[in-house]
């Protein structure tokens, strides 16, 4: 029987552990993960992974998975289709959190109700990531208060004035009279199909 103990299987074991436990395993735990019976063997493999750049040690000597290895692979585009072997052409690996939420401290999520932004591909039930403390630019989608209700609209700048436009012809464009209350700028939208 050949021990399936190569770098890839070890890396996968570490990623799986980190996904579940949200921390790196101790060397004792890695003995079980790697199916070896000595911590020195763990040290042996860890050193190899560090040389390969898969692992890092931070200033305090704690292990860290390099880059954003705990996301899922971004393999290409739809036309290219599914990855042949799910191995090699994993050009990049991204974490949804890091990709979608640039400023976690000033962001929050809202669930979309209504169809005012259907033309922009934002549908009822979607979640939108809203960044507050950010001034909207022309063409951004903003969360704004209109007639005492919060809705999502395109933010349009024309000359020295601004107005709000829905991405749905059923709604009329709004030229705010006095002040314009902006709750934030939509940074991203997500939709879930499978439960």
Partner DNA sequence: TTGACATTAGAACGTGCGTTCTATATAAGT
Partner DNA sequence: ACTTATATAGAACGCACGTTCTAATGTCAA
Catalytic positions are 116, 153
What is the smallest separation between the CB atom of 134 and its own copies, expressed in angstroms?
Answer: 8
CB 15 within 8 A of CB 65: yes
Tell me the window of 2-10, 38-46, 103-111, 167-175 that interacts with its own copies (CB under 8 A): 103-111
Select 63 or 122, whichever has its Cβ closest to DNA: 63
Sketch the per residue contact string, 1 through 30, with its own copies: x for CB under 8 A, - otherwise: ---------------x--x-xxxx-x--x-
8, 64, 157, 175: residue in contact with its own copies (rule CB under 8 A): 64
User: Of 172, 140, 21, 38, which Cα lies nearest the Cα of 5?
Assistant: 38
87, 105, 147, 179: residue in contact with its own copies (rule CB under 8 A): 105
Select 60 or 172, whichever has its Cβ closest to DNA: 60
User: Of 65, 58, 61, 54, which Cα lies nearest the Cα of 24?
Assistant: 65
User: Restricting to residues 163-182, which ones interact with its own copies according to CB under 8 A?
Assistant: none
Looking at residue 19, the DSSP 8-state letter turns out to be H
> Using the rule CB under 8 A, is 109 a contact of its own copies?
yes
Distance, CA of 155 to CA of 138 (rounded, Å): 6
Coil, strand, or helix at residue 142? strand
User: What element of type H or E holds 47?
Assistant: helix 39-52
14, 45, 107, 143: residue in contact with DNA (rule CB under 7 A): 45
13, 118, 162, 180: residue in contact with its own copies (rule CB under 8 A): 118
16, 32, 56, 57: residue in contact with DNA (rule CB under 7 A): 57
User: What element of type H or E holds 158?
Assistant: strand 149-158
Distance, CA of 138 to CA of 156 (rounded, Å): 5
39, 127, 140, 180: residue in contact with DNA (rule CB under 7 A): 39
CB 122 within 8 A of CB 151: no
Q: Distance of alpha carbon 158 from its chain centroid, rounded?
A: 33
**Contact residues for DNA (CB under 7 A)?**
2-3, 5, 26-28, 36-46, 48, 57, 60-61, 63
């Amino acid at each position: 029987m050949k021990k399936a103990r190569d770098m890839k299987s070890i890396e996968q074991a570490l990623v799986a552990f980190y996904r579940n436990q949200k921390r790196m395993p101790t060397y004792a735990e890695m003995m079980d993960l790697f199916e070896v019976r000595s911590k020195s063997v763990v040290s042996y493999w860890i050193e190899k992974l560090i040389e390969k750049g898969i692992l890092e040690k931070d200033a305090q000597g704690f292990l860290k998975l390099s880059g954003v290895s705990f996301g899922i692979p971004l393999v290409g585009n739809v036309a290219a289709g599914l990855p042949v072997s799910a191995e090699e052409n994993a050009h990049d690996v991204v974490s949804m959190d890091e990709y979608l939420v640039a400023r976690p401290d000033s962001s929050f999520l809202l669930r979309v109700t209504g169809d005012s932004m259907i033309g922009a591909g934002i549908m009822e039930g979607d979640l939108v990531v809203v960044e507050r403390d950010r001034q909207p630019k022309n063409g951004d989608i903003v969360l704004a208060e209109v007639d005492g209700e919060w809705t999502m609209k395109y933010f349009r700048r024309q000359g020295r004035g601004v107005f709000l436009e829905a991405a749905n012809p059923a709604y009329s464009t709004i030229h705010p009279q006095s002040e314009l209350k902006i709750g934030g700028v939509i940074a991203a939208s997500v939709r879930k199909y499978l439960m």
